[in-house]
Structure 1
Amino acid sequence: MDTERHWQDARSRVFGEFGLKPRPGFAERAKGVHYTECGSLMARETGKPQLADDMAQALLSHFMALVAEDPVTMPGAAALVRLAARHVPLAVASNCPLDVVEFSLARVGLRSYFAHVVVAGDGLLPKPHPDVYATAVRLCSVRPEEAMAVEDSVTGVESARRAGMRVLGVGPRPAEEGADQADLWLRTLADPELQAWAHAWANGAA
């Protein structure tokens, strides 16, 4: 899911709602961060640490409204999910709340393709900790080195790498340290070489 666009819009709305402005580069620092930690980051960087909880809740509220209004998949993602689901178990490992993940996937018709949805909470630490990915791999009954994560943030890449997985980075390659932990970065999941490889792999797995 292309959730980062909605998270970014939600953060902008929260800053405006509270009459605050982020420091330069905030979008990159916040990318992939769990919404509660993001609320704390927003409050801390604007000198209003006492607003952390309020900003986190406002952030989640705005994000859910944006997703409900316009759920979007990354280009090429839906086709890859449907193809891969015929041959291997798929799982979601996310920092988003469970109801957000379930709702988003259902809205775009992809929920049934994932055997498991794992989110932070109930003892599982959020990314960049490896908990959600380690749990997803275990539920899929595969070894970490046999699994691949698809990520669009350095926070997510670090989480998957710490869980022992291979990692495909998608989207503009982040400038911050840690992007090189991904095995490969592609601008889009619609990349012709990736699509060709996926179909060749699927034909070999059939």
Structure 2
Amino acid sequence: MTPHRILAWTPAAIVFDCDGTLIDSERHWQTARDQTIKEFGVRTEPGFAERTKGLHYTECGRLMAEEAQRPYLAPQLAERILSRFRVLSMAAPRTMPGARELVQNAAKFAPLAVASNCPLEVVEDSLGAAKLRDYFDHIVVPDDLIRPKPHPDVYLTAARFCGASASDTLAVEDSRAGVLAAAAAGLRVLGVGPWPGEDLAARVDLWVTSLDEPRVFEWASARIIPGTPHQAVSDN
């Protein structure tokens, strides 16, 4: 890792992952997966939760069905995972430690975007419930032309929407799929969460256990230009 590539640098744009990075919702995805496994009576291989963290819900459903040797169930499993997640996430929305402060400060010196594997309405609902939506100029999610993480598409698109080159853009990520996507797109990467191991850590510029680490707050605060409040421009 090369921390100076982050802490001594001012990005032209910043793109955040949503679940597990901004919003404390990864636990809800895990619960939704567990409930779906129990409801359908399927079995998955050890380590399923970690392997599916950050993946698109349809990919999660496909893997669940394949490991259960019932591939025909993939569409039903995926839809059930998503519907259960939506109920859980709306019942108890909360932000990850330090996420709100970082977003509020970063929005004063760079355009912000979200790049997520979730459906657009889920991201909109989550950010709205957390009162963060107005800080983001763009939200990018997979569609017929944009492939989900770990493909680089969402990050390449988000940087372009922000008017920045990929190399001048910072990604903030918590999952393997997200880190691989951002790195493949050519963004510098700030990883956050429990230590991911040397292999994944080698793909980021800086890994922190939480966005409320003082050095993250100090880095963003030092780049604020006095008297220039953020003016959000809504976009899909």
TM-score range, shorter chain: over 0.9
> Shift of residue 203 of structure 1?
5.2
After TM superposition, list the pairs within 5 Å mapping 1:125-204 onto structure 2.
125-175=147-197, 177-202=199-224
**2:41 equivalent among 19, 22, 28:** 19
Q: Distance in 2 between matches of 1:128 and 1:38?
A: 13
Higher helix share: 1
Which structure 1 residue ranges, 5 or more long, are not aligned?
Answer: none
- Contact 2:54–2:177 (8 Å) recurs in 1: yes
Instruction: Tell me the equivalent position of 1:30.
Output: 52
TM-score normalized by structure 1?
0.95
Q: Distance in 2 between matches of 1:54 and 1:205?
A: 51
Q: Distance in 2 between matches of 1:204 and 1:170?
A: 28
TM-score normalized by structure 2?
0.83
Which structure 2 residue ranges, 5 or more long, are not aligned?
Answer: 1-22, 229-236
Q: Which amino acid in 2 is paired with 1:185?
A: W
Q: Distance in 1 between matches of 2:24 and 2:178?
A: 14
Instruction: Tell me the equivalent position of 2:84.
Output: 62
Residue-by-residue CA offset, 1:11-42 (whole Å, 9 max, x unaligned): 01100111223221111110111000100001
After TM superposition, list the pairs within 5 Å mapping 1:64-79 onto structure 2.
64-79=86-101
Q: How many residues align structurally?
A: 206
- Contact 2:109–2:225 (8 Å) recurs in 1: no
- Contact 2:62–2:71 (8 Å) recurs in 1: yes
Specify which structure has the bigger relative contact order, considering alpha-carbon pairs within 8 angstroms and separated by 6 or more residues: 2
Q: Distance in 2 between matches of 1:108 and 1:64?
A: 14
Structure 1 runs (4+) deviating above 6 angstroms are none
Q: Distance in 1 between matches of 2:227 and 2:110?
A: 9
Closer, same or farther in 2 for the Cα pair 1:205/1:143, shift >3 Å?
A: farther
Mean CA deviation greater in 188-197 or 91-100: 188-197
Percent identity, aligned pairs only, is 53
